Structure formats: C-alpha cells, structure tokens
Amino acid sequence: MYEAQQPPPRRPPPPSGSNAPPGAGGRPPPPAPNGGGGRPPPPRPPGTGGGGSSSSGAPPRVPLPSSRFFDENHLPSVLHRPDPMTPEAERQARRRTCRFIEEAGQRSLRLPRVAVATATVFFHRFYARHAFQKHDRFEVAMACLLLAGKTEESPKKLDLVIRECWKLRRRAQQQQQKLTGQQGGESPSLAGASPTAIPSPPSASSGGDVQIDPKSEEYVRLKERVLLLERVILHTIGFELSVDHPYKFLVDCVQGMNKKRLLEYAKPPLGKDGNPLPKGAQNNQMVQELAQNAMNFANDSMHASLCLQYAAGEIAMACVYLSGKYSGIRPVGGRPWIELLDRISVEDLTSISMQILELVQPRKGMETEMAFKTIRKDLDEMTGRSVAPDAKRQKTN
C-alpha cells in the first residue's frame, strides 16, 4: 500500500556475513568462511524468533488473554527459589499494587480510566513472566503508568510520575508506621508477605517529608530504574500495546438487552410519592443502574489476574450478570441469565464471578453480603444444571 503512494526507499546494504543474493544493495555477498561453498546455515532453533523480530535472548511473549492454561501454582513468584511465595501471597501482592496503580493513576496523575486499566493489564502481564522477588513492584507500577499514559494518548512526564507515586507510597508507609506503633507490635506491611517486602526508602525517615528531592542520587537512580523497567515491560509483553477492556463490551451488552426489552426489575422501584415509577422512568433507571454497577465490577476485576485468564468480552458478560443480580434486575419471562449472555459458558461465568466476589465481598456491608449469597446460590444452581447432562451421559455410556 505504501509503495503505491510514494517512491520505494533505497535498499540498505545487507549486513556483513548475511546470505543476501547478488545485487542486493549493489554489492556481492561475502565469500563463505573456511571455503564452505554453498553449505546452508544451520537451522534456527524453535522459539528464537524468525524474521529478526526478536533476538534469541528475548523473553517469551505472554500468553493470549483467552488462554485456559493459566495456573497460579506455576507463576514465577511461586516457583522462585530459594524464597518462593504462596499463591495467596502472590494474589495479595497483585491486589495491593493494583490498588496503588488505581490510586496513583486516577487521583494523583489524573489519568483516564482506560489508561489506568491498561497500566494494570501491563502489570499483570509483566508478573506473569517475572517474579516479585526480582523486581520492586512499586517501581514496576510506575513504569506501567508511564507506558500506559503514552499508549492511551494521555502521556505524563516521568518526573511527575515519580514524584506523585513516591508521595503516595511514602504516605502509605507513614500510616503503616503509625498503625504499627498504636498496636505495639508488627502489623502486615504495605508490601504484604515477606517475599515481597519492600524496605522504606533511605530518605523516607519516620515523620519525614513525603516529597523526594529531585537533585538527590536516590532520585536519579529511581529515574534510571523506571526507564529501564519501561523497556523490560515492552519486551515482556511483546510490544502488544493494544489492550481490550471489558467496558465497551458491557456497554454494548446492556444497550442490546435494553433495545430488545429483555430485562425488568424483580421489584419495581417506587417514586417519591410511594407509587411505582412509570415504565419509561423505570427503564431509564434500570439501564443506568445496570451499566454503572457493571462498570464498578469491571473496575474491581482489574485487581485480579482475570485479564490473564479470560478475554475482555467474557469478563464483561460476568460483570453484567453480577450487576443484574446485585441490582435486583432479572430477565423477562423467567429466563436464566446465561441465555442472555453471549460468548460465555456457565463454567467461565462461574469462575469469573467467584473471583470478583472474592475481591469485593470483604469491603461490603451486611446488605451486600445477602445479595452475594443469592448470587452464589444462583451460580451453584446454574453449574448443577450444566453438569447434570454430562453426568447423565457418562452413566449412560
């Protein structure tokens, strides 16, 4: 396409020692070493990357989000020696750092929601190939925010990213020190389990300033590490900078269900006068409530490794389901939710929903606890209905 629009560029000369044909770049090929005649070069071993796109020492690319071979027991941090992490500690490290990315990205750096979500996906993909014990997760978070801002066309200066992230981390450490002093002993650190414990910065003495001196050697070293980590992240994710998020899929799903009139309130909402709202007002409120709660569940899903396990569209379907159950919205005619959701199985819906509930449930109150119990019961019933035919078929065979 480009050759038809502009004159072809000059062909660069091939590097020395290449097997380019005669006439390429206007020079003949060099003679074969040791009189090797026409012996072809040895075949490239598999996995080293043909076409010169990556060197043999480049790290392998992360699996596609739709991969079903994700196993947290085989993550680098869990297999790391001599100080392996437990799967639970690895999950906690991810969750705490994702909350840090969300706080720094939205409140401190004023990044768009999509940019923060992209930074979170970069973070998850990075630690699918690297161990927490090898890289400071807060420095990786800074690099992810820096790279995501550029990717989503909301770039932030490196100095600003370092200052704001440092300030946020330092404040959290001061609060943790106060909490430890009030309890009169040790408390869970900001970094979580001991394999991921990050020592306080040298300049961050107790009760000190939350700002980092831009002229200090520590600032210069941190700046160099973040820039280096940005390049490491790019190689780790295979330069795949285009990331799909659940947001657009769940909005399309809600709008499609609304156009087909597939949903209704289990209990019609009441107006200020105590009477049920008109149908039009009910429909508008239902769509807004369903979409907003689905967005909230999608934001919560970013704190887990779901983006490594499932496609964004599948996560979106689970968020719409959770939103409907949480908001008291049901399919018309008593149909099950799984019939309204596209491109997702009962097993995947159950797995995604349970992982999101595990994230959200500890932060909710008693009323929400009852709603979550109802959701769990419905998931168990759906799973039983989907497993029953298979079990019956096995008995028949």
Tell me the per-residue pLDDT of 40-74, one tens digit each, with 9 for 90 and over. Answer: 444 433 333 333 333 334 333 344 444 456 788 89
pLDDT band at 377 (very low <50, low <70, confident <90, very high): confident
Question: Which residue, among 120, 109, 210, has the nearest Cα to 157 in the 3D structure?
Answer: 109
Partners of 263 in the β-ladder: 331
Measured CA to CA in angstroms, residue 148 lies from 138, 220, 222, 294, 340 at distances of 15, 22, 19, 23, 34
Q: Are 236 and 129 in contact (CB under 8 A)?
A: yes
How far, in Å, CA of 14 to CA of 208, rounded? 58
How far, in Å, CA of 260 to CA of 319, rounded? 19
What average pLDDT is seen over the chain?
79
**Average pLDDT score over residue span 319-325:** 95
How far, in Å, CA of 111 to CA of 102, rounded? 9
pTM for this model (two decimals): 0.74
Q: How many helices (H) and strands (E) does the chain have?
A: 13, 2
pLDDT band at 182 (very low <50, low <70, confident <90, very high): low
Is the confidence at residue 288, as pLDDT, over 50?
yes
Question: Which residue, among 333, 255, 247, has the nearest Cα to 288 in the 3D structure?
Answer: 255
